[in-house]
Amino acid sequence: MKKVKFKDLVKIMERLRGDDGCPWDKEQSRKSLKPYLIEESYEVLEAIDEGKPEKIKEELGDLLFQILFHAQISKDMGEFDINDVIEKIHEKMIRRHPHVFDKGSISDAKDALAQWEDIKKKEKGYEGRRSVLDGIPKELPSLLMAHRLQDKAARVGFDWEHIEQVFAKVEEEMEEFRRAFSDKNTEEMENELGDLLFALVNIARFIEVNPEDALRKTISRFIKRFHYIEEEIAKQGRELKSVSLEEMDNLWNEAKKGE
């Protein structure tokens, strides 16, 4: 079997967008493809969580095709093509790793990250940024954005010294939320809940856990366990609305033990 090369995939994309190509592919724009780019990215994350190499390979391919799609649209508009994209990232990675490709030296990963940020600040396009918090995509999920904001602030020294201070902050925010709840103040409850979530993200950062990943995995476990409840109830010929909370809780614990 012929070994497929990268250029073969590029040709497929060109043909799909060509005069005799696929009507759907030809109609797409950068804006219309945004949901697919996000969806494919999350499917890669899901495959990584499941730890299945074959699925990771497949989902990475789907994500790669989205990148090719955007590059082809830009080529059709006379802006750039996939080769320009490759050249740009090739040059950037060499420039931001002088300790690997030049005569620079660093002692650890923390130094590598600091060096990356220093080099980034000197690059074209960075001069318009007035804050160290600039540059974070506004469309990031909120938990991930909170994590990135805290990380950027921490790099310039705006950070807790140890995790016990963060635990204390979580307890403080929880108490403030309880007071807002007692007062039945909807606006304050929303504010304090946001503060509490933000403090919990700080804990995630201190223990080096991605809060978005953590919550996504919890959601996945919740779905799996709830499906178990539904299946067991269905086996008994009953409906969920006729089952007590205690029974559902027992089935939940069965599902949890089965994991």
Q: Which residue, among 114, 122, 119, 121, has the nearest Cα to 135 in the 3D structure?
A: 121
pLDDT score for 155: 84
Kindly report, residue by residue over 178-237, the tens digit of the pLDDT.
999 999 999 999 999 999 999 999 999 999 999 999 999 999 999 999 999 999 999 999
Could you tell me the two tokens for 79? 């802006």
Could you tell me the two tokens for 223? 């779905």
Q: What is the mean pLDDT of residues 117-130?
A: 78
Length of the chain, please?
259
Q: What does pLDDT average to over the chain? A: 93
Instruction: In whole angstroms, give the CA distance from residue 133 to residue 156.
Output: 10
Of the ranges 121-130, 145-154, 235-244, which one carries the lowest mean pLDDT score? 121-130
Q: What is the mean pLDDT of residues 72-98?
A: 96
Question: For the CA atoms of the chain, what is the radius of gyration?
Answer: 24
pLDDT score for 135: 83
Q: What is the mean pLDDT of residues 133-150?
A: 91
Share of the chain above pLDDT 70, in %: 99
* Sequence spans of domains, the chain: 6-80, 213-258
Kindly report, residue by residue over 163-174, the tens digit of the pLDDT.
999 999 999 999
Q: How confident is the model at residue 247 (pLDDT cuts 50, 70, 90)?
A: very high
- Answer whether residue 40 shows pLDDT above 90: yes
pLDDT score for 95: 94
The helix/strand/coil state of 20 is: coil
Of the ranges 5-14, 70-79, 83-92, 106-115, which one carries the lowest mean pLDDT score? 106-115
177 touches 189 (CB < 8 A)? yes
Q: Which residue, among 17, 122, 114, has the nearest Cα to 72 in the 3D structure?
A: 17
pLDDT score for 116: 86
Give the dihedral of Cα atoms 229, 230, 235, 238; nearest 10 deg: 110
pLDDT score for 236: 94
pLDDT score for 134: 87
Q: What is the mean pLDDT of residues 46-52?
A: 91
136 touches 148 (CB < 8 A)? yes
Q: Which residue has the higher pLDDT, 140 or 127?
A: 140
pLDDT score for 137: 87
pLDDT score for 81: 97
Distance of CA 182 to CAs 102, 168, 175, 189, Å? 61, 21, 11, 9
Position of tokens 């005069």?
Answer: 19
Instruction: In whole angstroms, give the CA distance from residue 24 to residue 248.
Output: 46
Distance of CA 129 to CAs 54, 119, 136, 166, Å? 41, 14, 11, 29
Phi/psi-derived region of residue 157, left when phi > 0, alpha when psi is between -120 and 50, beta in every other case: left
119 touches 96 (CB < 8 A)? yes
What is the reported pTM?
0.72
* Cβ neighbours for 123, distance < 8 A, ≥ 6 positions apart: 95
Q: How confident is the model at residue 128 (pLDDT cuts 50, 70, 90)?
A: low
DSSP assignments along 162-189, one per residue: SHHHHHHHHHHHHHHHHHHHHTT-HHHH
Question: How is domain 6-80 classified at the CATH fold level?
Answer: Helix Hairpins (1.10.287)
